[in-house]
Chains A and B, each alone.
Chain A
Amino acid sequence: MSGRVRENMPDYKKDKKRVDGRKMDELRPLSIKVGVIPNADGSAYLEWGQNKVYAAVYGPREALPKHTQNPLKANIKVTYRMATFSVPERKQPRPNRRDMEISKVLGEALDKAVFTEQFPNTEIAVFVEVIDSNAGSRVACLTAASCAMADAGIPMKDMVAATGVGKAFGELIVDLNKDEEDAFDAVDIPFAILPNTKEIVLLQMDGLLKKSEWSEIAKLGYVACEKIYEIQKKALSEKYQLSEVSQKLIGDKSVSKSGEKDSAKIKKESKGKAKKVRK
């Protein structure tokens, strides 16, 4: 490490522990819930450390205005937004340069995973809204968006698993938090892969890195993404185990008694909810 270390700065080489007590290759606690927005075709809510993210997917649907249609493939249109209260200083609600950039790179990453050629002239609209953030919100959004896409039943080659990797306080680490991102020697790399093929679909970098350090970091990233993939898998299949429990409840007790309650419950849970189109 360079001799520029300031006083009261953590030194990860010496401490063997990070500022929030994690190991160098440990992720912040991650939980995903799928199917949270009834009006969307697919949706997901994700909590990753302090990051809280909602993702909603609509489509495939007719791309409008018509000149945006591509007769060979579907457009994936991602809208990344941060809530005004998601950062310490109020964020201007108007989409800024950063919002647009992240929307673009997320769309390109998802595009690699989806069989877009199956849906000519359509668009798949993805909305990701950051409710609370603490570094790594774009990878949180990408992880949530890919779960929401699977929940919408969109044909995909693979899920997209993403994490932040990089360097802070002299050590190579995984999933940087805000303190680490602001370190004097910080390197922050959003890293997203398709877990089956190990294909990298998102890679950006802030900071400076040696070539040898990068190959180490990539290894860390692959391992971390595998962990995230497992969590995504669990979240998606869990949705269909929960209903199993509710069905058992209905089956055990006499159905006629719980008629009112059941229908209310069913309506609440049901994604394709009943609508009276015409009487």
Chain B
Amino acid sequence: MTAPTRAPVEYRDRHTIFGDLRESIADLRSHGELLAQLTSRDIKLRYKQAVMGFAWAIFMPVLIVMAGLVVRLSMAYVSGKPLSVDGMAGVAVKALPWAFFVGAVGFASNSLLSNQALVSKVFFPREVLPLSAVLAQGFDTAVGTVALTVALPFLGATLSPALLWIVPLALLLFILTTAICLFLACSNLFFRDVKYIVQVLLTFGIFFTPVLFDAPMLGERIAPLVMLNPLAPILEGLRLAVVEGHNLLVPLRVMEGGKLVELWSPWLLLWSAGAGVVGLVLSITMFRRLQYLFAEWI
């Protein structure tokens, strides 16, 4: 006997994107406890048996700033312009979110595989695994933010109302990172090739994202291309808001060589937000629909 003998009842949930989102939010709410426990586990594990302790949280950003210093020094040498302190403040501000992104993607994309026993034996909404990895990285970033807040006044940043932009930008960064992490964690479970792709992405991503350099340095042809990277407006926005006190709802144009060059446009923010939200919706939908296959494929 190889086929059903009696009329089988085909049971499928009527999936809609909206339904998936609602289900996901309801599940996360009812499993908030689990999310909190897993996040605190991930945080504890980072600092257990680690001699450097919390210093690790600022280690990565500090390294990025140092790399930025090298880049800026060589740029200054080639162009003959002096190295600006403002520039370094910009790198410091952008180092932190980049470190967050790299760390979160690194941990989260592997989160389903590294919890194989759980995934194949216990039921709970699987989103909590990548999500807790992102949140644990968020904790590191929060520690780093404290350190940065102490350092910034010395780098020439001043208090301005534009600092309030940090909140929506941080939220946007979180949305975009979560979207990418859910997608990668899920694909990594099905295809082990994904972890190599992630490595490449994280290694070379810094060249296509304005972290060590500022987008305008690339000139008016290439700068808009770099800004297509949805992370770029977030990073550049942070720099403009924190270091230059610029209100991001206002375009920033400067006269350069007799031409008006646009350094910032509010549309960039919309592009980034759109990419983040659409990405998150799609990745949650994908995750939701595939999660019943996780135990079979892992």
Q: Do A and B bind each other?
A: no
B: residues with CB less than 8 A from A are none
